[in-house]
């Protein structure tokens, strides 16, 4: 195949002709816009781009992209995308999922896609609620959450998606939110560049069933005090003028400190490439929920063997060893006798 330059595209080229049907004011609109505006910058082709989703509000995403796409069944998108990605390494395969889809019904597929390090870019729209089924609590809803299915409050402790991903050996883990297009685009770009399984958690507002779930940290006036931007190689600081920071206590846990008090040298320097996910995990546990200062950005970006490439290599190795498969030889491989 001749290497033809990727044609220039605009946001419009990546939008399908289908009417977008999310509720007015849904956070999903800004995520869709961020993606449609980013893709022209990534130097990729529409025909080589596939969005695979499960079920839920977020899962309608592929219908709105003028790429290849599959809106599959509840929770199974990572499994379906795995089959596609390992047989078609030439494609960019994105998985679009929500907190219920990825962490409840599809939890098993999500963790194993990350463990295997399949070359997938997984976007987890976390709105801490079931939207499409009209407002039941989700596996990321806070304990005590009152919903239609928990009129006396949810008894369940929530999952922290970043912690889950790190525990499942994901080689790239990031968090962003639907109020900051530039940050979303930067996280999507980084996740797309990563070879292997990349998970981006997106805090997303459901203005109908869980409005304001993230307002304590994402309100315009709250962000500087409540979001902790993670930047590789930099001391972790946040707050007005970077007055606050993250440091390791003498007991071995991470804590928030006043930089003036603790001293700059005490601050933890963020290293997303650390092989050991322990510190990234500790960072993911800094906030108990989106009501305390919360890290956003890339938690982890390490190089691990990519599953599909390994699979392809085993085929090449076998062909090198045995030559390409010959059917007649195979059928005779169990020992034969001849009747004449």
The answer to whether 301 touches 274, Cβ cutoff 8 Å, is no
Quote the least distance from Cβ 258 to other proteins, whole Å.
Answer: 46
Q: Which is nearer to other proteins, 68 or 291 (CB)?
A: 68
284 binds other proteins (CB under 8 A): no
Residue from the set 35, 44, 80, 123 that interacts with other proteins by CB under 8 A: 80
Element (H, E) at 197: none
154 binds other proteins (CB under 8 A): no
Q: Which residues contact 279 (CB under 8 A, 6 or more apart)?
A: 254, 268, 271
Quote the least distance from Cβ 250 to other proteins, whole Å.
Answer: 41
The answer to whether 261 touches 244, Cβ cutoff 8 Å, is no
273 binds other proteins (CB under 8 A): no
What Cα–Cα distance (Å) separates residue 33 from each residue in 19, 29, 30, 39?
14, 6, 5, 10
Quote the least distance from Cβ 13 to other proteins, whole Å.
Answer: 11
The answer to whether 307 touches 86, Cβ cutoff 8 Å, is yes
Quote the least distance from Cβ 45 to other proteins, whole Å.
Answer: 7
- Binding mask 85-124 vs other proteins (x if CB under 8 A, - otherwise)? xxxx-xx----------------xx-xx------------
10 binds other proteins (CB under 8 A): no
Quote the least distance from Cβ 53 to other proteins, whole Å.
Answer: 8
37 binds other proteins (CB under 8 A): no
Quote the least distance from Cβ 284 to other proteins, whole Å.
Answer: 23
Rounded distance between C-alpha atoms, residue 204 and residue 163, angstroms:
18
Tokens of 79: 């499994």
Quote the least distance from Cβ 188 to other proteins, whole Å.
Answer: 19
Quote the least distance from Cβ 174 to other proteins, whole Å.
Answer: 24
Return the range that interacts with other proteins (CB under 8 A); candidates 145-153, 177-185, 200-208, 332-340: 332-340
- Can you spell out the DSSP letters for 108-173? HHHHHHHHHT-S-EEEEEE-SEETTTTSEE-TTSPTT--BTTBTT---PPPP-HHHHHHHTT-SEE
The 3-state DSSP class for residue 181 equals helix
Burial grade of 132 (CB within 10 A; 0-12, 13-18, 19 or more): middle
Quote the least distance from Cβ 90 to other proteins, whole Å.
Answer: 6
Rounded distance between C-alpha atoms, residue 233 and residue 268, angstroms:
10
Rounded distance between C-alpha atoms, residue 70 and residue 81, angstroms:
9
Q: Which is nearer to other proteins, 66 or 150 (CB)?
A: 66
Q: Which is nearer to other proteins, 72 or 147 (CB)?
A: 72
Place of tokens 């695979």: 52
31 binds other proteins (CB under 8 A): no
Residue from the set 9, 30, 36, 67 that interacts with other proteins by CB under 8 A: 67
Q: Which is nearer to other proteins, 69 or 277 (CB)?
A: 69
36 binds other proteins (CB under 8 A): no
C-alpha Rg value of the chain to the nearest Å: 23
Residues lying near other proteins in the complex (CB under 8 A): 16, 18, 45-50, 52, 55, 62-63, 65-73, 76, 79-88, 90-91, 108-109, 111-112, 311, 314-315, 317-319, 321-325, 327-328, 330-332, 334-340
């Amino acid at each position: 195949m001749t290497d033809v330059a990727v044609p220039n595209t605009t946001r419009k080229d990546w939008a399908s002709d289908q009417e977008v049907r999310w509720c007015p004011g849904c956070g999903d609109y800004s995520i869709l816009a961020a993606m449609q505006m980013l893709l022209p910058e990534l130097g990729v082709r529409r025909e080589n781009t596939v969005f695979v989703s499960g079920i839920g509000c977020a899962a309608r995403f592929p219908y709105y992209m003028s790429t290849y796409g599959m809106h599959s069944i509840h929770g199974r998108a990572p499994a379906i995308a795995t089959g596609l990605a390992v047989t078609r390494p030439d494609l960019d395969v994105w998985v679009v999922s929500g907190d219920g889809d990825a962490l409840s019904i599809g939890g098993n597929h999500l963790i194993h896609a990350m463990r295997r390090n399949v070359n997938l870019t997984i976007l987890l729209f976390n709105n801490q609620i079931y939207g499409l089924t009209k407002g039941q609590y989700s596996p990321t809803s806070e304990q005590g959450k009152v919903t239609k299915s928990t009129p006396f409050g949810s008894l369940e402790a929530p999952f922290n998606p970043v912690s889950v991903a790190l525990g499942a050996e994901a080689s790239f883990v990031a968090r962003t939110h639907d109020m900051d297009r530039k940050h979303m685009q930067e996280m999507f770009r980084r996740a797309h560049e990563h070879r292997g399984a990349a998970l981006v958690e997106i805090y997303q507002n459901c203005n109908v069933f869980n409005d304001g779930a993230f307002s304590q940290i994402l309100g315009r006036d709250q962000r500087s005090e409540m979001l902790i931007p993670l930047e590789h190689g930099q001391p972790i600081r946040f707050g007005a003028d970077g007055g606050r920071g993250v440091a390791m206590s003498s007991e071995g846990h991470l804590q928030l400190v006043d930089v003036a008090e603790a001293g700059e040298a005490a601050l933890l320097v963020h290293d997303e490439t650390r092989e050991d996910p322990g510190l990234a995990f500790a960072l993911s546990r800094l906030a108990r929920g989106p009501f305390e200062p919360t890290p956003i950005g890339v938690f982890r970006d390490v190089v691990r063997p990519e599953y599909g490439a390994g699979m392809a290599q085993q085929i090449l190795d076998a062909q090198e060893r045995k030559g390409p498969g010959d059917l007649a030889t195979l059928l005779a491989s169990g020992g034969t006798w001849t009747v004449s």
